Amino acid sequence: MPPILNAQGLSKSFGATPLFRDIAFTVSDGDRIGLIGPNGAGKSTLLKVLAGEEDADAGDVAVRKRTRIGYVRQESNFAPGVTVREILETALNAGHVPEAEREGKLRETSGRIGLPDLNVAAATLSGGWRKRLAIAEAIVAAPDVLLLDEPTNHLDLAGIAWLEGLLDTGDFASVIITHDRYFLENVATEIVELNRVYADGLLRVQGSYSKFIEARQSYLESQSRLEEALRNRVRTEIEWLRRGPKARATKAKARIDNAHQLIGQLKEVSSRSQTATASIDFAATERQTKRLVELDGVAVELGGRTIVEDLSFLVANGTRVGLVGPNGSGKTTILRLLTGELEPTKGTINKAGSLRIVYFSQTRELPQGVTLRRALAPDSDSVVYQDRVIHVASYAQKFLFTGDQLNQPVERLSGGERARVLIARLMLEPADLLLLDEPTNDLDIATLEVLEESLLEYKGALVLVTHDRYMLDRVSTTVLGLDGKGSAATFADYPQWEQWFLEQSSDIATREVEPSKAAPQISSSTAPAKKKLSYLEAREFADIEQRVEAADAALETAKQRVDDPEVAIDAAKLTEALAVLESAQMESDKLYARWAELTEKAG
C-alpha cells in the first residue's frame, strides 16, 4: 500500500530566511513519528504543509485517496459560547461520518478525553482541557493520520499519560512535534530531526528517542571525520596550487577543477557542522542564610474553593524543589505565595530579610510595542551581566539572536524565542530564590539541555514547575507533590510522587464505586504484565550497585569517625560526626530501597 503522505522536494522560506530546502518526508500506516529540531527549523511549517493548510515554495505532497487528516495546532482556542458538543458535531459533519453513527462516536470520544459535560462552553475550559478537546476534535472522525504540534503544552502530568495511552492504542499513524524527551521515548517508534546540519536537511532514525541519540552521535562523528579528511586533502591541493601549475595540460586543468570542488565541499560540510546553542547562566547572590522561606500550616481559599491546606514546607538555600501536581492543584498559587503576590488564608509565611526573588511566569509577559533591543536593555545599548558592562548585541548573541533581530518587535518572535528573551532578562537579576513556572514550553531540546546544566550549577534555591519529567528527575533534589484536593506531601523524586498520586486516585475511584458494581478481582493469570524499566531507570539501574557500594563505604567511614576515642571526648566533634553518620545512614537506606524497587521492576 502506498504511504498515507508522501512529500518530495519540499522547500520553504520566509523572506530571505530558508526554513528547509529540498527535503523528503513520508508517513505510512502505523508510523508514530516524533518530529524534533531547533527553534526556527520549520517544524510547525512542515506540519502545516502536510496538513494542507500552507503551500510549500517548491515540492509536492501526495495524499493517498480517501485519506482523513487530523491536525492539532500548537494553540487550542475556541470561539466564545460554542459548546463541546457543537465542536465535536462539527468535526463529525466535516469528516462525513454517517448521521446514525454520530451520537455513538461523540459519546465514545468524550469518554476517551474524560470530559463528562458536553454542554460546557469550550472557551471556559482550562488550557489542559482545551488541549484535550482539540485532540478529541481531530480524532472523532477516525483520521488515518494525526498531526500534533506540541500536544503536551498545557497538559498536566496525568494528561500527558492519557495522551501517551491514546497514541499507543490508536489505529492511526501520527506525527508529533514535541520537546518532551520522556514522551518521545514512550510514544515514538521513529524520530525525525529537521536540522540544516544534515546533508539531506533531516535525519530519520527507526526506534526510540534513545536510539536516535546514538544514531545522531554516530552521524556527527562521521561528519567530523569527513570534514577532517577534506581539510587535509584541501591543504594538499592548496600547496600544489601555490606552486603555480600550468593549466594548459589536461591533467593539470582537471586537478585545478578538482581542488576548487574540494574547497567548495569543505565549505559546505563546515557550514553544516557549525551549530550554536544558547548560553544560559543564572546568577545567585552570596547570601549565606540557610532558611530562606518557611511555610507553616498555610492554607489558601480562592472563590470558595480550598486550593491548599495545612502546608508546612521549608525552602532552604541550595535546595532545588520540583513542584508537581495536576492542573488546578495550586502550583502557580504556591509560587504567588512565595513572591508575596498572594496572602495565605491561614498559617504564616516567614522569609529571610532582604530576600531577592526572581520569578519566571508561565504567562510570559513581555513589554508590548518594543523591539528586542529595548526588551533586553530598556535605557541604553548596554546591560550589566555578572558585574560586567556588555553591549546588548553581544548579550543577545548568547541567546542565539542576530544583530538584525535587535530592531524586530518582540510580538513577531516565536514562542521559543520569547522564552529565551524572558530567560535573558531574568539572568540580569541575581537571586536568592529562583521561581520558574513552566520555563520549558516551546524550548527546543538543545536549549533545554543548556537550561538544565545552568540550573544544576545554580548556587541559590530553586522552585521549578514543569511538565517535563526528564528535567524534573534531573534537576530537583526534592519534590513537593500536590494531589488537587488540597493535600501536599514531600517526596525524594518524581516517580515516588507519581506512585503516590496514582494510589490516591485509585483509592478515590474505589470509594466512589458502589459495592454491588465494583469490578471483579482479576486472577493472577490474567494480571497485567509488570511494568518494564524506562530508559532513564535502565541507566540508573546500570550503576546503582556502584552507588550503593560508595554509600556503604561512606557509612563505614562515618561509623569509624564516631567510634574514634579522640572524637568521643570532644562534644563539638562528636555532634558533627553524629550528624554525618545520620546523613550517611539515610542515603544508604534510600539507595537500598531504590535498588530493590528497580530490581523488582527489571524482574
For 17-32, give the DSSP string.
EEEEEEEEEEE-TT-E
Instruction: Look at residues 450, 399, 466, 459 and name the one whose alpha carbon lies nearest to residue 431.
Output: 459
Beta bridge partners of 409: 371
390-411: average pLDDT: 86
Q: What would the mean pLDDT of 111-126 be, rounded to a whole number?
A: 81
Helix (H) / strand (E) containing 121: none
Which is more confident, 395 or 527? 395
Look at residue 515 in the predicted model and tell me its pLDDT: 39
Q: Which three cell numbers stand for residue 483?
A: 494531589
Cell numbers placing 480: 513537593
Q: Please identify which residue in the block is written with the cell numbers 526534592.
A: 478
pLDDT by residue (tens digit) across 327-385?
778 888 899 999 999 999 999 999 998 899 988 887 767 878 889 999 999 888 888 88
Give the global pTM. 0.66
- Of 128, 122, 165, 166, give the one whose Cα is nearest residue 146: 166
What's the pLDDT at 524?
Answer: 30
Q: Which residues of 424-448 are buried (b: 16+ CB within 10 A; e: fewer)?
A: bbbbeebbbbbbbbbbbbbbbbbbb
Contact by Cβ (8 Å): 438, 465: yes
Please tell me the distance from the alpha carbon of residue 194 to that of residue 197, in angstroms, as a whole number.
9
Task: Tell me the one-letter amino acid at 217.
Answer: Q
Quick: pLDDT tens for 220-256: 787 777 777 777 777 776 776 676 665 555 556 665 5
Task: Tell me which H or E stretch contains 47.
Answer: helix 43-51
pLDDT in tens, 94-113: 888 888 888 888 888 877 77
Coil vs helix vs strand at 601: helix
Dihedral, CA atoms, 24, 34, 417, 272, nearest 10 degrees?
-50
How many percent of the chain have pLDDT more than 70? 83
The whole-angstrom separation of Cα 73 and Cα 54 is: 13
pLDDT of residue 533: 61
Report the range of poorest mean pLDDT among 79-83, 393-397, 496-500.
Answer: 496-500
